[in-house]
Copies of this chain bind each other. A is one copy, B any other.
Amino acid sequence: MQKYTAKGLSNIAGVSVRTLHYYDKIGLLQPAIRTTAKYRLYGENELLKLQQILFFKELDFPLKEIQAILNDPEFDLIEALESHGKALALKQKRISKMLNTIEKTMLNLKGKKMITEDELYDCFTKEEATKNRKETVEKYGAKALEKSEAYLKKLTKEQLEALKSEQKEIFKRLFEISDRAPVTQEVQLEIARHYINTRKFWGTDGSSNPQWRDYKGLGALYIADKRFTQIDGTAQPDFAKFLSKAMAHFANSQLK
């Protein structure tokens, strides 16, 4: 039977001797035998167990939980993995938020200010903007609008300009064909392009699935803020409505 000394096992498994001492002390991994000189000797079983320990450690499980998992074979591993996964997902979300804040702060420091509420609606009078928002909220719900605005406010002015110019062409093509049928295939294709284009600016928040609800919300915002749907400098309220409708249609068609 193969026997490993502390150093031997530590070399194979890539952990420090101190770690083995520690695992021994807390009862997570005890050596197969102790020599008369109190040397620790590990066998194949211990190597195997150590590797399992390291697997869970990779997943950031605390040692106590690993102990529970390995000691009790009736332990509900699936549930443990599931809840641990949820915790990790939350952590990821938190980090996303932090990254967002860091970026915002850096841009602030660099003098590239974020878009403010006022600037978002600066092409309207206060009353017009308020009216627009109210209408939008009534039709599409408060959450959709909020999400869209939050999304836009995360952008810098430069990013906003880039977004607008990138989508200007798409909008123009859409505008030209917007009077034909309610939603032709041509329109659908352009909307698909628009969706994909928009996604590039969507913040990643851990969930990778397309957020169709948000996309519909963006359409609502187009109605509320006609600045985005200006064609060659003049507002096109009907086009905004058309666009929003087409976006909603597209989103719905993608929801199976």
A195 to B189, CA, bound (A): 12
Option from B92, B98, B196, B202 in Cβ contact (under 8 Å) with A254:
B196
Residues of B within 8 A of A254 (CB): 193, 196
A171 to chain B, nearest CB (A): 17
Known contacts A59-B102, A82-B106, A91-B95; A202 and B208 CB within 8 A of each other: yes
Give A83-140 interface residues, CB cut-off 8 Å to B.
84-85, 88-89, 91-92, 95-96, 98-99, 101-103, 105-106, 109-110
Q: A88-B98, A92-B96 are in contact. List 12 more A-B contacts (CB 8 A).
A: A59-B101, A77-B109, A81-B105, A81-B109, A85-B99, A88-B99, A92-B95, A185-B186, A188-B189, A199-B210, A200-B209, A200-B210
Chain B CB within 8 A of A19 CB: no
Cβ–Cβ contact B78 & A109, under 8 A: yes
**A213 to B: closest C-beta gap in Å:** 15
Chain multiplicity (copies): 2
- Is A60 in contact with chain B by the CB < 8 A criterion? yes
Contacts of A68 in B (CB 8 A): none
Bound-state Cα–Cα, A95 to B207, Å = 13
**Per a CB cutoff under 8 Å, which of B84, B92, B199 touches A102?**
B84
**Interface-centre pick from A85, A95, A202 (highest chain B CB count, 10 A):** A95
A206 within 8 A of B: yes
- Complex CA distance for A105 and B79, rounded to whole angstroms: 12
Q: How far is the CB of A194 from chain B (nearest CB, A)?
A: 10
Determine if B199 and A98 form an interchain contact, defined as CB atoms under 8 angstroms apart. no
Chain B residue at smallest Cβ distance from A201:
B208
